[in-house]
Structure 1
């Protein structure tokens, strides 16, 4: 494949992202669903690509026709299919760069209830998924046991994590898990938004909210995804002079260094495992969770030696957001509908049980674990547990537009402990390989223990505080 073809494929993806943003600005339905342009553009590309338009036209024209792949060529699809696995490394490498950790007491007091709640939902997804796999999917549909891990991978991890594990699923001998996981991530984000808005409306009607009395307070500009004029800042800071290196370029090199550190760690652990134990478990582990650790290591050095404050968190966040938009759009555009159709019943069962568990957790554990502002807090974690972090943040913004509750602060603190493990962290990345190598029962037992820890701490420690 030539560099020109790769470059054109990237430009073509940018066009779909632009169209997705235009649709978001023009469609009231897309605004009410709060769907990002990357999801809209990705779906549009999926519909106009070989999986939908190509199959429809294939009934009337020959397989060698240009239109047999829709309006997307096979070269474009080949480039797009590799993007998610690359971009996820950037997304995770940027998680800690430029951040400042608050004191541990503040993290525990404010973020602890949401950590216990999110911990319960996350590990519960493994419990539900593995039980479903062992009792139904493995014996009746001849699927591998690690299929039960896809609920947490798809819902908590989202499109990025699912895409990042594509090579891992190939190594484990069931590449179809990639398409199922991406499909679950899509179901999750749609369900998270729709159900989350419905839950907020329910809370308002039942007097369960403490901040708002209606959910119609967002302006048309906000719903269109446009920042109000008076709220527009100047973006990232210019921390270095352009004649030496551009600020964006400088921060990109920092992110690249974090990924390189993660790569060296992964190679070192893989070599050490093979030399000492003679096993190959780490060969199944993707790079992105180690890139996150690389970012943490880089941030430790930045905090200690960056006396000129060259690293700007807003610029790092922009790099992360750019990578995530590319990742989501390309992941959705290249999903195989035929694979999901082949495993439609298992796919629907995983989605149904995953959503049911999250709703159960919201209504049963949410009000009993949160010492105050339970709905404002719980709806954010419900959104993340169903449709990734961005969904949770959006729902908290709807429930608490002026951030009068501790929901957003607690959610941020919770992420510092939660993200390194669940929601795309180490556990999410290692879950499928661990189940593959050791079987589902040990991981199921461990998940039950971890879920129980979340329930006990949430109900009997943080839940008691509201009675004091």
Structure 2
């Protein structure tokens, strides 16, 4: 029976232990509290050290057995894709979009989308340039296209970078690509904390916050744990407990839709020619999100949308994100990035710094709520939306600015604009890839659009 725990159940247990440990350390250590470092990040960093010193394993009938880093990479892949089912199912309140501005052309959501495309291009160009220059000057036998993965790891998520890396490995034999993608994603979270927390504190100190209501952070937010008597309801039940538990029902719905996504991915991989067949499972997160979107639309059409509770779906999705962030660090194998460690580090530092400078330049010149919007997208475009919300809450604890709502609806503008990047990334290893010209085109077009739409005015702060 012990053999059934190895490796995936054991890996899942390790992630759980590290999340609990991270939560405990956050509640006890003031350094972690002041910097609002999430428990998943704390646990992930500890797990990274343990993993790369050979201490992550489990006792079995055959003795202590090491759990390979690839196992955690697989968990990242599925947690990421499964979470996108929840994203597809999430219901957006229709009234909230009006809060972002009566004129959608002037809304912060569109501003965020244009900045996203420009930052993604800058990150990709930076990565490719650094890897090319390093190979030209120092030499080495490695794939310079690895540099493109920093855009996916920073501006999308570690799961997306891992997914594209997996396609490169399975379809084109680019060894270590999935681990490199995870590593870029992990470094993105660190950049979000290292750049974002000091900026938030500076904004409060210098009076850059629009609402002027930022105060001392509540103890529960600093420590990451609710005090006695402060607990809040996290979901609403849509099922009777005598029939089926509310969370069990929502997880079952998401798992069933994930199975539909799997069937589509399998059919894709079996029917389409080599070169594109790998996109079937490489884009499983997309198929999962689409099944969620279709299901939500159908339920809304037949007036049964009430059986899904948005809060329950959001909590389950958020849980997959916490597990994924922790697993990301444990899925990084130093052996896979050892040969590219120097250009990897240079790329992370250069891309992180340039991302910060570009976002700050345009945020300072945004007519309204520039600081809140800039801080939010800084966290989002180096980490995830969760990182952006975390940073925003420091300066806007009551979410009086429209930035939080805009983070939720900006994908309405992002997805149509950036599709050409997403469609070409899986084919980067092919000869004659035109990913670089695409990024250059975005780098030119996005600033023009920002100025044309009058999102750039006189510096405000």
Report how far residue 39 of structure 1 moved: 1.7
- Matching of residue 407 in structure 1 with residue 407 in structure 2: no
Distance 1:419 1:247 in 2: 32
Partner residue of 1:357 out of 351, 354, 357: 354
Aligned to 1:381: 377
Aligned to 1:209: 209
Partner residue of 1:95 out of 84, 87, 96: 87
Partner residue of 2:368 out of 348, 366, 372: 372
CA contact (8 A) 2:106 2:453 kept: no
Matched residue of 1:188: which SS?
A: helix
Q: Deviations over 1:392-422 (max 9, x none)?
A: 1111111211222221122222134436886
Aligned to 1:4: 5
Distance 1:66 1:287 in 2: 30
TM-score w.r.t. the length of structure 2 is: 0.85
Q: Deviations over 1:200-241 (max 9, x none)?
A: 233345443323476x61023211112467764322211012
CA contact (8 A) 2:352 2:382 kept: yes
Report how far residue 101 of structure 1 moved: 6.0
Task: Provide structure 1 residue ranges, at least 5 long, that are not aligned to the other structure.
Answer: 56-64
Distance 1:113 1:250 in 2: 38
Moved more, 127-136 or 36-45: 127-136
Instruction: Call closer, same or farther: CA 1:28–1:73 in 2, change over 3 Å.
Output: farther
Report how far residue 262 of structure 1 moved: 2.7
Matched residue of 1:233: which SS?
A: coil
Matched residue of 2:44: which SS?
A: helix
Task: Provide structure 2 residue ranges, at least 5 long, that are not aligned to the other structure.
Answer: none
Aligned to 1:446: 438
Partner residue of 1:113 out of 111, 114, 122: 111
Distance 2:4 2:257 in 1: 26
Distance 1:177 1:406 in 2: 38
Moved more, 201-210 or 375-384: 201-210
CA contact (8 A) 1:179 1:339 kept: yes
CA contact (8 A) 1:84 1:164 kept: no
Distance 1:381 1:313 in 2: 24
Distance 2:115 2:230 in 1: 33
Moved more, 349-358 or 93-102: 93-102
Matched residue of 1:16: which SS?
A: helix
CA contact (8 A) 1:86 1:164 kept: no
Report how far residue 163 of structure 1 moved: 3.6
CA contact (8 A) 1:236 1:314 kept: yes
Report how far residue 132 of structure 1 moved: 3.3
Distance 1:418 1:259 in 2: 24
CA contact (8 A) 2:209 2:372 kept: yes
Partner residue of 1:456 out of 448, 457, 461: 448
Distance 2:64 2:148 in 1: 32
- Matching of residue 246 in structure 1 with residue 239 in structure 2: no
More helix by share: 1
Report how far residue 376 of structure 1 moved: 0.8
Instruction: Call closer, same or farther: CA 1:398–1:420 in 2, change over 3 Å.
Output: farther
Aligned to 1:39: 41
Aligned to 2:191: 191
CA contact (8 A) 2:296 2:305 kept: no
CA contact (8 A) 2:260 2:291 kept: yes
Q: Deviations over 1:98-117 (max 9, x none)?
A: 31363696655432222222
- Matching of residue 283 in structure 1 with residue 278 in structure 2: yes
Partner residue of 1:22 out of 21, 24, 32: 24
Matched residue of 2:306: which SS?
A: coil
Distance 2:212 2:326 in 1: 33
Distance 1:72 1:388 in 2: 36
Report how far residue 430 of structure 1 moved: 4.7
TM-score w.r.t. the length of structure 1 is: 0.84
- Matching of residue 435 in structure 1 with residue 443 in structure 2: no
Distance 1:299 1:226 in 2: 33
Distance 2:299 2:105 in 1: 25
Report how far residue 54 of structure 1 moved: 5.1
Distance 2:135 2:385 in 1: 28
